[in-house]
Structure 1
Amino acid sequence: MEYKLEVIVLPVADVDRAKEFYTRIGFREDLDYIDGPDFRVVHFTPPGSHCSLVFGIGIGEAQPGSVENLHLVVCDIEQARADLVACGVDVSQIFHDEDGVFHHAGRQKRVLGLYPGRRSYGSFASFSDPDGNGFLLQEIIERCPVW
């Protein structure tokens, strides 16, 4: 049985501001459905992704900005970072973890620069949407073999 992650619900305070942000960074708008003042669903998909983001009104109870560490996998982290910066997004410098396995919470053990040898899974850059929902770009040039 396959289990495919399809949608992540993002809590936002201002739906139109979030919609403008995700449009500006090149995500595809799939739906903006309104059913009265208490229900709105906005659906966006990142380029090349099978998993989408949904936000709106009346679709969840999490606090705006409470989602963190959503990974956007890219094959060239330098280009992806430059593209987001060109769209006006405040993106961290590229970093890797000093232990080299996975990034620690917050900014602990961050070392500036690409992972040595530019090994897949090791280089990151972070940014947030206008509500503070946190994303990490993660460079994967070659995926690990399927088990």
Structure 2
Amino acid sequence: MDWTLEVIVVPVSDIDRAVAFYRDQLGFQLDHDTQNEHMHVVQLTPPGSGCSIVIGDLPAQNEMAPGSLRGVQLVVSDASAARDELLSRGVEASELMVFSPDDGGTFFGFADPDGNTWAVQELKVRAEKPLIPLESRGRFGA
């Protein structure tokens, strides 16, 4: 039996501001934005990822304080290009840190407007061998 990690709750103080950051500045795909008199829940997915983030105001999503999530890790095939892209979109990112010359040894980080922190790891092999093949991408067959 597979156990797949598919959703991470990100605690935020302002849902609309968080959507603008993750969608417009980071480039995450907006999967759904559901709002009614009882709740507001938004799901976004990084390009090429099988795992999404969810932000919202349901009780389970309010168990962590806004900004308390630390070190969720994203992986890219070119850390320098990814960092430059984020900087061009107004995201403050740390300098590249090379812990090892081996593939997987280069990182940088950033934080969302609430202070939730993210690590970005470079795995050059992802350019040739993405975890999710291009033809299999899209949450709803799109």
Deviations 1:73-119 (A, max 9, x none): 0000000000000100000000034xxxxxxxxxxxxxxxxx33xx1
How many matched pairs? 123
Q: Secondary structure at the match of 1:5?
A: coil
Aligned-pair CA distance for 1:13:
0.2
The equivalent residue for 2:109 is 126
| CA RMSD after TM alignment | 1.3
Aligned-pair CA distance for 1:35:
2.4
The equivalent residue for 2:55 is 55
> Matches of 2:27 and 2:43 in 1, distance apart?
13
Q: Verify: 1:91 aligned to 2:93, yes or no.
A: yes
Q: Percent same amino acid at aligned positions? A: 45
Look up the equivalent residue of 1:50 and give its one-letter code.
G
> Matches of 1:43 and 1:50 in 2, distance apart?
12
Aligned-pair CA distance for 1:17:
0.4
Pairing partner for 2:81 from 79, 82, 87: 79
More helix as a share of residues: 2
The equivalent residue for 2:70 is 68
Aligned-pair CA distance for 1:65:
0.6
> Matches of 2:73 and 2:112 in 1, distance apart?
13
Aligned-pair CA distance for 1:2:
1.3
Q: Secondary structure at the match of 1:135?
A: strand
Q: Counterparts of 1:1-80 in structure 2 under 5 Å?
A: 1-24=1-24, 25-36=26-37, 38-58=38-58, 59-60=60-61, 61-80=63-82
Q: Secondary structure at the match of 1:26?
A: coil
> Matches of 2:96 and 2:51 in 1, distance apart?
24
Unaligned runs of 5+ in 1: 98-114
TM-score by length of structure 2 reads 0.82
Q: Secondary structure at the match of 2:125?
A: coil
